[in-house]
Amino acid sequence: MEGINVADNRDGTYRVTVVGQLDGKCQVTMTIGDRPIPGCPAIIPVIKGLVKTIGSEGSAEGQYNKPWGVAINKDRDIVTADRENNRLQIITREGKFKKIMKFKQFKKPFSPRDIAISSDNTYYSLDDNNKQIVASDENGHVIRCFGQNELKDPYGIGISPVNGNVYVTDCGGNCVRVYTQHGKYLRSFGSYMYGEGQEQLNNPWGVVISTTGMVFVADWLNQRIHVFNAHDQYLYSFDCQSGDGKMRCPMGIAIENDKYIYVTTGSSMLKFGSSKFVCRIDSDSDGLNYPVGIALTDDVPCRVVVADTNNHCLKMFVQ
């Protein structure tokens, strides 16, 4: 069983129980008093797979040009690093345009590669053109910029739910760099020389941190997920080298309830339970072309939002 949801009315005269199952069906039972109503339990199919495509190529509102990173803000809207349009774009989960945020005060054009949002709704944009992290509020006002002294070629950004620290994968340095939200550089881990060893990364891309502080890094050219503990110590790595779960150059990464890991590769999206391959989320007919950023909503069942970079759109899947 995937999950059980129970709803009661206030006086307890009826109860609705929904059991989510792994085979894509839900079992729904409704009782009045202690008696089930006729026809219960009912088995209802659950829609899975691709449910929505949002946007098209262009620079107008609701359009994208090489979208990379995606995140969900406090209003449950989708925030996208619209890379080659040099902006952040915010839409509702239904695909309705809300806002565009541009930053034109930098030496080079703002070029967001990834986006992470803190618990107080501060936006942390990874601006690789200027080798910096741009912290801004939800209205697009820049609060601070940092990382210029350390970052060589930043690709992915994540915020720890444990201590709020900002983690950045530095592809050019083959390491992960850690900052406070106020911009203080704390440390880095991973080797500065690329390699295949336990402590080494080779062009790291996405990064995500669990509620226990475990750090999951998409180790792109090593074609694996590298896992470190809250003290930056190597724990283990995992991959899959056959079938639908073959991990070809992982890029984006997201975590669901510390239980499932979602990974984008060059042409697919994979789901792992801890370190074991569970399933492929997309199918060939969905036409993903270089999916990079990935974010999860809090819906039940979970919705997976992916930046389909070379198709210049977002795609939403139900899993």
| Distance (Å, whole) CA 274 – CA 261 | 7
Question: What are the domain boundaries of the chain?
Answer: 3-45, 49-318
**Residue 308, class by beta-carbon neighbours within 10 Å (0-12 exposed, 13-18 middle, 19+ buried)?**
buried
Work out the mean pLDDT of the chain and round it to a whole number: 90
| Rounded Cα–Cα distance for residues 281 and 190 (Å) | 30
Residue 243 confidence (pLDDT): 84
The answer to whether 177 and 170 have CB atoms below 8 angstroms apart is yes
Greatest mean pLDDT range, 12-16, 38-42, 141-145 = 141-145
Q: Is the pLDDT of residue 316 over 50?
A: yes
Q: What pLDDT, on the 0 to 100 scale, is given for residue 60?
A: 98
In angstroms, rounded to a whole number, what is the distance separating the alpha carbons of residues 258 and 235?
A: 16
Chain-centre distance for alpha carbon 169: 14
Taking CA 131 as the corner, what is the angle to CA 139 and CA 109, rounded to the nearest 5 degrees?
60
Calpha distance 28→226 (Å, rounded): 40
Give 284's pLDDT tier (boundaries 50, 70, 90). very high
Residue 1 has what pLDDT?
A: 35
CATH class of 49-318: mainly beta
Q: What is the pLDDT of residue 46?
A: 60
pLDDT score recorded for residue 41: 76
pTM of this prediction? 0.86
Residue range 311-319: average pLDDT? 96
